[in-house]
Amino acid sequence: MRAVQVTIVPYAVDHRPAVLELSIRAWEPVFPGIEQAVPPFVYRSFYPDGWQARQLADLSAVLDDEPDSVDIAVVGEQVAGWVCTRLHPEDDMGEIYVLAVDPLQQRRGVGTALTEQAFARVRAAGLRMVMVETGGDPGHAPARAAYESLGFVQWPVARYFRDLRG
C-alpha cells in the first residue's frame, strides 16, 4: 500500500467512539489466533464475556484514566489510529502501552508515525529506552515484524498458566 499523510493530534473526548471502533476492528483478526494458541481455561478466564467486551472495558479505562498520554493519528478527516505512551522513570523507560491502527490504514505509515510520536514523548521525558509488548501467537506476527523493523529487540519471556480446577 502507499504511504499517506498522517497528522498526530492530542486525544480529545470526541475521538473516543472512532478510537474504540477502530481498535475492535484492528484486533478482530488477532483474537481467533489467541484463542487457538492458549489453553481454553485461560482464554475463558480473560474473556468470560468475549474479547470485545474486555477490550472495550480495558481501552475505555485507558482513555478515561490517561487521556494526556494518548495521541491520535488522523488521515484526512478520519481517525486512523492511536497510541498510549506510559513513562516509567524508575526504569529509564517509556512504554508503548496501546497501539492500534485502523485496518483500512494499516501498512501505510500510520503505525510508524504513532510509534515515532511515542519515541518523541519518551525522549522529551529524558528517558533512555522504549518498550512495547505484544503476543507471541500467530495473530500477532505482523505486530512483531513491525516492531522489529523499527529496531525493537525481543526480551524472552515465558508465561505459564495452570488450571487449579482441572
Q: Is residue 155 part of a domain?
A: no
What stretches in the chain show pLDDT beneath 70? Answer: 1
Please write the tens of the pLDDT for every residue from 64-104: 999 999 999 999 999 999 999 999 999 999 999 999 999 99
Residue 76: exposure state from Cβ atoms within 10 A (0-12, 13-18, ≥19): exposed
Alpha helix stretches (DSSP H) within the chain? 16-27, 31-37, 40-46, 51-65, 110-124, 141-149
Q: Which domain holds residue 143?
A: 7-149
Q: Is residue 158 part of a domain?
A: no
CATH number, domain containing residue 128: 3.40.630.30
Domains: count for the chain: 1
pTM of the model: 0.92
Q: Is residue 43 part of a domain?
A: yes
Amino acid at 132: V
